[in-house]
Chain A
């Protein structure tokens, strides 16, 4: 028996994404090694989706993904000065609305007792 396994340079790394239901986003699952996209798709189901419910699967050749290098990733960290972009930057609104409603109700009460 040939003890040495053959060296394969014709297998590629595929990244696997799946969607749990029609309303959910695609989520990265893991990666696998396959000779072509059809086999990658079949293996994706066998390797990562034996139990979870699944609505759809994508496989993408890793070489076709362009991303940030480790040195660039820290620049993604956001400075904490963007409250004007977010709902938490407007947290005083409810209290102010309540204030106006209470003032109005107070006035109404006075008007009713005055008449």
Chain B
């Protein structure tokens, strides 16, 4: 979009003060508004990670498209995979507009992903060996994603908020799709119930890790900066507690367990007390050293290479038609 030249008769300090005052009174920032470099960088880091995670998240589920047990399930999981890619498109667009003043593009994000400089959610580095895993991903991983994304609906960065409104509406379908698979298995045979219990056990540490380490943990995180900028409103631990309060009772209602014998609800503190997952392992996983990291990155690269002819054909058409 074109606009007239920007007047810059304010000092950097005055701009910073006006910026903070604006977000403090609930004002929203647009892509072409002045913003501190630090704010821009935090947004780029968050939104590119979110966007790439949507795309990488489609890969473990894609594995289940040919193996889904019924035609309806196959159609539903295909729709979900398509939604995730669509969410990736939305978020990459938001990230690109933030990257533009730095002279960077979508290709830089892809290269960062392949070089393992751009991280994606820990859960998408993991294996999904059974159909129950596909159900648990929809029910609990998408359930967790809805909790973090709903928190950000009121983010100070308007383009991200607009993308999240679209995304959250569709994630609700994903979670229900997962719930439907999980309930079917939970109401099924002993064998089906065992398969589901194994999937819950397998995913438990990853689900705790999904929200990121607690603020006092060993890994430095940008939570406080993001909260100051009103990019987010709740801490990792607050979000994890929302998740535990919502989903632990449901796991127990179905007669299943989580691999944590000491887990209990502290009425006084109004929170779940649980065993911390191995945060050192988390660090390794998001660095790209998880069980399926290399395989999934390889799939992404292969897909990019194998569709090169489509891009070439489109470009060639464009040149001829003009």
Q: A-side interface residues toward B, CB under 8 Å?
A: 1-8, 10, 13, 30-33, 35-36, 39, 43, 46-48, 50-51, 62-63, 65-72
Contact = CB atoms under 8 A, between A and B. Distances in A.
Contact of B4 (A2, A4, A47, A72): A72
A36 B318 contact: yes
Interface of B: 1-7, 30, 32-34, 79, 82-83, 86, 89-90, 92-93, 96, 105-107, 110-111, 114-115, 162-163, 166, 170, 301-302, 304-305, 311, 314-315, 317-318, 321
Given A8-B107, A48-B166, A70-B30, A39 B314 contact: yes
* B82, B110, B314 interface centre (most CB from chain A within 10 Å): B314
B297 to A, nearest CB: 11
Instruction: Decide if the interface of chain A is mainly helix, strand, loop or mixed.
Output: loop
Contact of B86 (A31, A46, A67): A46
B98 to A, nearest CB: 13
A77 to B, nearest CB: 12
27 contacts: A1-B301, A1-B302, A1-B305, A3-B111, A3-B115, A5-B110, A5-B114, A5-B304, A6-B107, A8-B105, A30-B166, A32-B89, A32-B93, A33-B96, A35-B311, A35-B314, A36-B314, A36-B317, A46-B82, A63-B2, A65-B1, A66-B1, A67-B1, A69-B3, A70-B3, A70-B30, A70-B32
Contacts of B115: 3
Nearest to B2: A66
**Chain A to chain B: the 5 pairs with minimum beta-carbon distance, closest first:** A69-B3, A36-B318, A65-B1, A70-B33, A5-B107
Contacts of B114: 3, 5
A107 B322 CA distance: 80
Contact of A68 (B3, B5, B304): B3
Contacts of A51: 170
Contacts of B111: 3-5
Given A36-B317, A48-B166, A30 B3 contact: no
A66 B93 contact: no
B94 to A, nearest CB: 9
* A63, A65, A71 interface centre (most CB from chain B within 10 Å): A71
Contacts of B311: 35
B161 to A, nearest CB: 12
A63 B79 CA distance: 33
Contacts of B6: 69-71
A61 to B, nearest CB: 10
A48 B169 CA distance: 12
A104 to B, nearest CB: 52
Contacts of A5: 107, 110-111, 114, 304
B80 to A, nearest CB: 11
Contacts of B110: 5
A68 B170 CA distance: 32
Contacts of A70: 3, 6, 30, 32-34
A4 B308 CA distance: 13
A66 B318 contact: no
A30 B86 contact: no
* B4, B163, B302 interface centre (most CB from chain A within 10 Å): B4
* A13, A30, A43, A65 interface centre (most CB from chain B within 10 Å): A30
B2 A65 contact: yes
A99 B3 CA distance: 54
Contacts of B162: 30
Contact of B318 (A13, A31, A35, A48): A35
Contacts of A32: 89, 93
A62 B159 CA distance: 15
